[in-house]
Amino acid sequence: MPLLNSPINAILDPRYQEIAVVASTQSGKSQAMNQIILGYWLEYARHHTAFGIANRKIANRVYKTKLKPMFDAVPSLSALLPRGGAGSRGGFPTEQLLTNGALWLFLGAGSAADMSQATVESLVIDETDKADAEAASGKEANPIEQMIRRTDAHQLTRKIVFTCTPTVKAGFIWKKYLEGTCGKPLFRCIGCGEWFWFEWSWENQRIGWEDDASEVSALETAFYPCPRCEMKIHEEERLAMLRFPLWVHDGERIDRCSADEAVAAGPYSEAVVLQDGNAFRVTGERIATRTESFWWNRLCSPFTTLGHLAAGLRKARENETSRHAVTIYDMALPYEGRLIDTSEISVDAILEHMRYSDYRSGRKGRMPFRYDPERFLCTSGVDIGKRELYLVVDVWEHDAEWFLLNSWRCAFLLPYEYPHPEDPRAIFRGLEHVRDYLIRGFHDAEGAVFRPAAVGIDAHYQRVNRKNRRTVPEAEYQVYEFCRQYGLGTWRPVFGEDSLGGEGIVLPSKLDRQRVVLWRVDTDILKCDIHNMIRLKPGQPGFWNLPQDTSREYARGLCAEKRVVDFDDHNRERAEWVVEDPFNHPLDAEVYSWAMARSLGVKPPRLSEAGADPDEEEAVEKEKS
């Protein structure tokens, strides 16, 4: 894979101490950066070399999948293994002294080597973002920094290699890439002869396949259009182009040169003589930095096809998990698909959404528009707390705006902490009050009455008294009973789960014994949707309108949770919503209401539309007011 020559040569380039490689999976990244470099360091340079790892589990995996196969496959390397001792019998060694004097060891949390004593000349930190995440979670004091410090004795000659698939923009590897030279591989269009890189983003997906093609035909028809001549580059042509990459770092460009000049270019200069006799070399000034950084995605890899990438994109249209996988594993871009930073959502920012001067909550005021059932959908959500029910009523305009009609803390309904011995059916009765309120309906601008089409009711709050489970009727059974009695089409028990793992977002599932349909919902995605909608500007689809008399308490409840992102051992994002303010009912109630709207066909705002043109927004704004 010619693409790998440059990143591999980088370990000898005296201008750089650090090499940051951010690339997609199955694109040669690990093979090149771990195995070849380690083979070189251990076998020829006889360095003391460390693997920086996040935890013992990863060390085990790195040993099994990367180190051991390398020793097994290269006879000259395996000949350097000592006859006895750990590692010689196939067990998991945390360090190994080779017979040529080279040493390798695992450094990091849970490693046997004492971090404060080991000294190494070369360091490879694979899966940097995992190690970084361990630091963020407070388990370890910045392990990457500690690992780097182990090379201080060799400040003039040390080499440190960082590799990872990207995770999020704030992740270690992406920041390191941007700090460095920002290299990208360019390939020459076989149509027009222009050099370009395989650019891709969700807004500009580029990879094309015939319209309405099935997944099978996408495998054959997929192409990448040349950014200059628009020629459709199909798989065969792509593979031909991949044979001649030129790495271009920030500040550099590609110039024509003579074949002699290309051949005579220095060891760390990029130049190529093509089959047709054309020769090119990279010229210009790189930025001054000690980090040489490389990035490539799977469009640059011969280990996949355009068809497989297209098939992945088809799948990612509807499925958040696939979308995440395509972003980081295929396209090697940090994942921004979901809301990461929820810190900018504040009570005041939420209350700025009160736009219509005569728009009041409940029945005191009217919705500012005529309620056309083709255009609007009314839903409601009920969250059940220990002492109260919390109700929200929303109107969703398809592909347009969102109106809160009312938010209501029904504290008087459940005067006692549930379950109360004198009132075991408090929740059922509370829900009947909610029903009385909702069936009277709401008025639109012309005085017509409309009602919620679906009400999502929390059937999953924490059981208060586990010991008394047998004697106290479970609260969720009251919810089921209520929904069965008043009609499962409108009254729907909702079961919020942190994640449905890509199975779906709102999934009806049968509860056999009660003959009730329980609606399982992915609360992470739905909460992200809501927080995304709060941040939209007027005129953007999904923008959210609040009545003039919206309470601060409601706004406070919407910001009661913050999304904290962690990574599992496969660098998959694992999100958790941390409750910072115990009054989080408004957020939960909105989740249930929004889940109902989604189940009835309202679409979440498309992320690419979140960055609409501000001029256009203003025009829309004026039109409405």
Question: Rounded to the nearest 5°, which phi and psi values hold at 373?
Answer: -60, -20
**114 or 276: whose CB is closer to Zn ion?**
276
As measured in angstroms, the least distance from the Cβ of 196 to Zn ion is: 8
**224 or 359: whose CB is closer to Zn ion?**
224
As measured in angstroms, the least distance from the Cβ of 249 to Zn ion is: 23
As measured in angstroms, the least distance from the Cβ of 206 to Zn ion is: 13
As measured in angstroms, the least distance from the Cβ of 198 to Zn ion is: 13
> CA-CA distance, 469 to 406, in Å (whole number)?
34
As measured in angstroms, the least distance from the Cβ of 244 to Zn ion is: 14
Type of residue at 260 = D
- Dihedral (Cα; 66, 3, 300, 163), 10-degree rounding: 40
Pairing of strands 543-545, 401-410: parallel
DSSP output for 196-239? E-----SSS---B--TT--HHHHHHH-BEE-TTT--EE-HHHHH
Query: Which residues partner with 408 through β-bridges?
Result: 391
**227 or 538: whose CB is closer to Zn ion?**
227
As measured in angstroms, the least distance from the Cβ of 227 to Zn ion is: 8
Type of residue at 511 = L
> CA-CA distance, 578 to 144, in Å (whole number)?
26
**256 or 570: whose CB is closer to Zn ion?**
256
Neighbours of 71 (CB within 10 A): 21
Q: What does each C-alpha distance from 267 to 5, 184, 252 come to in angstroms?
A: 11, 18, 17
> CA-CA distance, 430 to 445, in Å (whole number)?
30
- Are 377 and 602 in contact, with CB atoms under 8 Å apart? yes
Which residues of this protein are in contact with Zn ion, per CB under 5 A? Answer: 189, 191-192, 226, 228-229, 231
Q: What does each C-alpha distance from 506 to 65, 374, 487, 518 come to in angstroms?
A: 38, 22, 19, 10
**231 or 607: whose CB is closer to Zn ion?**
231
**246 or 316: whose CB is closer to Zn ion?**
246
**185 or 496: whose CB is closer to Zn ion?**
185
User: Would the CA dihedral through 344, 349, 350, 355 be positive or negative?
Assistant: negative
- Are 390 and 431 in contact, with CB atoms under 8 Å apart? no
Pairing of strands 491-497, 454-458: parallel
**3-class DSSP state of 251:** coil
As measured in angstroms, the least distance from the Cβ of 208 to Zn ion is: 15
As measured in angstroms, the least distance from the Cβ of 406 to Zn ion is: 58
Pairing of strands 573-579, 561-567: antiparallel
Question: In the numeric block, which tokens belong to residue 510?
Answer: 């049968």
**192 or 445: whose CB is closer to Zn ion?**
192
As measured in angstroms, the least distance from the Cβ of 346 to Zn ion is: 48
**236 or 348: whose CB is closer to Zn ion?**
236
- Are 499 and 522 in contact, with CB atoms under 8 Å apart? yes
**3-class DSSP state of 368:** coil
As measured in angstroms, the least distance from the Cβ of 193 to Zn ion is: 7
